[in-house]
Copies of this chain bind each other. A is one copy, B any other.
């Protein structure tokens, strides 16, 4: 009856359709992933499973994430870092991300007008869109209020922004 169980069932349906099996490891991962209402990476998952004394190998985590992405239940997102992040897809709530380059926090947003405009652009280019990925990098409200630290650009390198772009 917990909500996450529905997700496990959803995954099982997908697996059965592909002639694949629902194992204990896969079920645990789905339960964990759908309890994280935020972005995570493979290592965080590995760590959380270890915390709960659920033994799952790194390989299985990656393999299961791949299946979940194929099933559409999980989405791979780029957050300006040099490795992948993931997030679960609840219902069909697509959203994009504002990423703070100072503190690393991520704000989600969804804007129908933005989406509509994108579709218009695609039409003009005779391009059939299936999916998109938008991150807006910048400074969040609380970091802005804290003022400019003189040594702030440290995080800039990580995220691959140029000083010039930041200055714009």
A residues at B contact (CB < 8 Å): 66, 69-76, 78, 80, 82, 84, 98, 100-101, 107, 109, 111, 113-114, 117-118, 121-122, 125-141, 144, 157, 160-168
Contact = CB atoms under 8 A, between A and B. Distances in A.
24 contacts: A66-B157, A72-B163, A75-B165, A84-B160, A98-B122, A98-B125, A98-B129, A100-B127, A109-B121, A111-B121, A125-B141, A127-B136, A127-B141, A128-B138, A128-B140, A129-B136, A129-B137, A130-B165, A130-B167, A131-B137, A131-B161, A131-B165, A131-B166, A134-B134
Contacts of A70: 157, 162-163
B76 A160 contact: yes
Give the interface centre of A80, A133, A138, A167 by most chain B CB atoms within 10 Å: A133
Tell me the number of copies of this protein.
Answer: 2
Given A114-B121, A121-B114, A160 B127 contact: no
Contacts of A136: 118, 121-122, 127, 129, 131-132
B109 A113 contact: no
Contact of A69 (B78, B130, B134, B162): B162
* Interface SS, A side: mixed
Given A75-B162, A131-B136, 10 more contacts: A69-B161, A70-B157, A111-B117, A114-B117, A114-B118, A118-B136, A130-B139, A130-B165, A131-B161, A132-B136
Contacts of A129: 98, 136-138
B111 A98 contact: no
A114 B134 CA distance: 12
B130 A132 contact: no
